[in-house]
Structure 1
Amino acid sequence: MPAECNKRPSPAPPPANGHATVSGRQPAPGPPPLPNPSTGSANPSASLHALWCYLHPALDHIVRAPTNNPSKAPAIDVSYHMGVHTAVYNYFTAQSDSSPAPTGLAGFPARFSIQNDKGKASGADLYEQLDHYYADVAREIFLGAPADDASLIHYLVPCFNRYSAGTQSVSRLLNYVNRHYVKRAIDEDRGWLRLADVLDAVARTIREDDTREKVQKRLRERRTEELKKWGYREGDPPARVAQIESYAEAASAPDRVVSLTAVAYRQFRIQVIEPLLAAPKLKASKGGKKKRPPPTNSEKPPLPRGRLARAVKELLESKGGDEEETRRLAGELAIALRTVGIKVDHPLRKKLDKYIPPEQR
């Protein structure tokens, strides 16, 4: 990771309600587009450190700057936008000229290849830096969560919407990373679903006289089976298939190369959602056995709930509140859980998915 740039400190994350306010009353206007910072005679594409110092203010403005509209990320100046595109393109081009070519996997289609261990694919260092950046932002959101369960979802939903809007904007800004590095990594079998993940299942159905086309067909069928776990149905349009695949990408392990939006959502899952879903550990008694909560009227004693499960229970069972607002929060939380890769059979998703509006299911 490059050394810290001598830039202004990162803006604070949005308040619990996701809005920036003036004197606690009226929403403040959104921040103006961030101007292109002066780099003097320095070349932003000369090194990862130089590139990151040039990108960092834009990322903080887009992802972290307070705004009165959590669903829309603050903009940067057109000249800054073009400067980022040019700097990233030049940086990747310079790396590509000195990067070794990938080597193929014997016996499999040419697209299944691996990068030579002597050097990383061009863009890998920037991709990893962005991954670290999103981890830091998501960790800030987690650390800023209110201590009481009653306020947790009211904090979490607008924070996720703000984070999501920012990361989608960054993905568009840095689309060259997706087109150049991520696509290449997927072609080299380093994506969310790898040949090794499906090889055993496919190998059991392969016969000696099968052609390469038949093997590839079985690999595609196996990928379709995986997507069905995330809601894919035969005949789904390409846009929906891409959306479903993004859920699988966000659910993948950190070593899998995925699109930049999926990188951001994956870190939100790891840094925010999973810690909130985790149930507290049972304390051990003096005899060494773990103490369980006292049994209720049911036959089995209740297991301890994670913070998010408790907050959802309180939200849905609260009396005298705005029912429409409750349903909205429950639906938006369900969408957030789905987006960051929480599997469809998770108990909390089963409870919340029915609150998702029909047109968003």
Structure 2
Amino acid sequence: MPAKSTDKASPPTANGVAKPDASLAVPPPLPNPSTGSANPSASLHSLWGYLQPALDHIVRSPTNNPSKAPAIDVSYHMGVHTAVYNYFTAHSEASPAPGLSGFPARFSAQSEKAKASGTDLYDQLDRYYADVAREIFLGAPTDDSTLIHYLVPCFNRYSAGAQSVSRLLNYVNRHYVKRAVDEDRGWLRLADVLDAVARTIREDDTREKVQKRLRERRTEELKKWGYREGDPPARVAQIESYAEAASPPDRVVPLTAVAYRRFRMEVMDPLLAVPKIKGKGGKKKKRPPPANGDKPPMPRGRLARAVKELLESKGGDEEEKRRLAGELAIALRTVGIKVDHPLRKKLDKYLPAEDS
């Protein structure tokens, strides 16, 4: 799990991490909003209108403690659970949701296959996390020397909020995500491993033998994320969460993985992207080989430049540098950046012993 931050002064932006201020240290629980006679579970429109204040408070509210998400009132928590349960129950057999008149198109444009039994709400949560992550990216400082000091507490704040929302909306995980995984719509699908498994299947193999080979293939995939034989179930689940966050957006994964996947796509991937060197006419420029025969220095993505500056800068608190590097390593791993990525290899040596 992401490490706890001990920053004394976190950047004040829309990312929900505030400047030191005693009045913001522990935001009070958000009370249950009055819905009058309206039924929050009547439609996606009304359900989202009831949910969004809770999500914004949990994920976006300013706080001095990036490792702990602000709470909502117990009655609001119960109200959300009841509304989601009733929505799923009432619409589980419903036909594809029609367009919602007067409502933004991103809420109402439903695929013909998007049933009100979960896909519409799941997709809306995915869009919500995409918006929040994009805000964090757009709020990043332009100075590479302060980028990591901004990014680490932002990620810890975002992660704490995502975990709190997952607990709040656990019914979505149990009702929709579990069913989608059972229907072969999860991070690893039968088609992904079928070719490799098919090459080892013999005509007289039983169903049990085929299933065993599929499980073995899944284990091979998890080994790419650090799985080792004999790992306890809790560690296996944690490793699988990295693979879930690394999956493409069409794969159905638990809500925490949805949030981490969006953080990777909207924040980490752009910061890791290596700029292309272009010559005249916009064509890719080839670097001339150096006279001494050494390989020419390759351009770095912005995050790689920031890491280099953090670790190689003279002066400053060396312990703080190592802490930031270790927490950034945890963030990269958590959002699904692969083990063999050069920056992960560089940063993993700074992981705390219990997270290695």
Question: What is residue 19 of structure 1 aligned with on the other side?
Answer: 18
**Change beyond 3 A, Cα 1:133–1:296:** farther
Question: What is residue 104 of structure 1 aligned with on the other side?
Answer: none
In structure 2, how many angstroms separate the alpha carbons of the residues matched to 1:88 and 1:296?
Answer: 66
Question: What is residue 242 of structure 1 aligned with on the other side?
Answer: 237
Question: What is residue 48 of structure 1 aligned with on the other side?
Answer: 44
Aligned letter for 1:39?
Answer: T
Check conservation: 2:94, 2:115, Cα contact below 8 A: no
- Which stretches in structure 1 are left out of the alignment for 5+ residues? 1-10, 101-116
**TM-score calculated relative to the size of structure 1:** 0.87
**Farther-moved stretch of structure 1 (284-293 vs 43-52):** 284-293
Q: Is 1:63 aligned to 2:59, yes or no?
A: yes
Check conservation: 1:99, 1:122, Cα contact below 8 A: no
Question: What is residue 224 of structure 2 aligned with on the other side?
Answer: 229
Question: What is residue 196 of structure 1 aligned with on the other side?
Answer: 191
Aligned letter for 1:189?
Answer: D
**TM-score calculated relative to the size of structure 2:** 0.89
Question: What is residue 80 of structure 2 aligned with on the other side?
Answer: 84
Question: What is residue 179 of structure 1 aligned with on the other side?
Answer: 174
In structure 1, how many angstroms separate the alpha carbons of the residues matched to 2:50 and 2:114?
Answer: 25
Aligned letter for 2:147?
Answer: L
In structure 1, how many angstroms separate the alpha carbons of the residues matched to 2:282 and 2:235?
Answer: 54
Instruction: Return the structure number with greater relative CO, CA threshold 8 A, min gap 6.
Output: 2
The number of equivalent residue pairs is 330
In structure 1, how many angstroms separate the alpha carbons of the residues matched to 2:53 and 2:214?
Answer: 43
Q: SS at the partner of 2:280? A: coil
Q: Is 1:259 aligned to 2:254, yes or no?
A: yes
Question: What is residue 125 of structure 2 aligned with on the other side?
Answer: 130
* Superposed displacement of residue 27, structure 1: 7.2
Aligned equivalent of 2:329, options 319, 334, 342:
334
**Change beyond 3 A, Cα 1:289–1:37:** closer
Q: SS at the partner of 2:52? A: helix
Q: SS at the partner of 1:33? A: coil
- 1:192-233 deviation line (CA, Å, top 9, x unaligned): 000000000000000000000000000000000000000001
Report matched runs for 1:261-340 at 5 Å.
261-285=256-280, 288=283, 290=285, 292=287, 295=290, 299-340=294-335
* Superposed displacement of residue 121, structure 1: 6.8
**Farther-moved stretch of structure 1 (152-161 vs 277-286):** 277-286
Q: Is 1:32 aligned to 2:28, yes or no?
A: yes
- The percent identity for this pair of structures is 84
- Which stretches in structure 2 are left out of the alignment for 5+ residues? 1-11, 97-111
- 1:304-332 deviation line (CA, Å, top 9, x unaligned): 11000000000010111111000000000
In structure 1, how many angstroms separate the alpha carbons of the residues matched to 2:322 and 2:282?
Answer: 46
In structure 2, how many angstroms separate the alpha carbons of the residues matched to 1:215 and 1:60?
Answer: 46
Check conservation: 1:293, 1:302, Cα contact below 8 A: no
* Superposed displacement of residue 163, structure 1: 0.1
Aligned equivalent of 1:164, options 159, 163, 172:
159
Q: SS at the partner of 2:92? A: helix
- 1:223-270 deviation line (CA, Å, top 9, x unaligned): 000000000011111100000000000000000000000000000000
In structure 2, how many angstroms separate the alpha carbons of the residues matched to 1:193 and 1:142?
Answer: 29
Check conservation: 1:293, 1:304, Cα contact below 8 A: no
Q: Is 1:350 aligned to 2:340, yes or no?
A: no
Question: What is residue 3 of structure 1 aligned with on the other side?
Answer: none
Check conservation: 2:20, 2:64, Cα contact below 8 A: yes
* Superposed displacement of residue 283, structure 1: 1.9
Question: What is residue 6 of structure 1 aligned with on the other side?
Answer: none
Aligned letter for 1:13?
Answer: A
In structure 2, how many angstroms separate the alpha carbons of the residues matched to 1:69 and 1:283?
Answer: 43
Aligned letter for 2:228?
Answer: R
In structure 2, how many angstroms separate the alpha carbons of the residues matched to 1:294 and 1:13?
Answer: 45
In structure 1, how many angstroms separate the alpha carbons of the residues matched to 2:257 and 2:202?
Answer: 36
RMSD value, Cα: 2.0
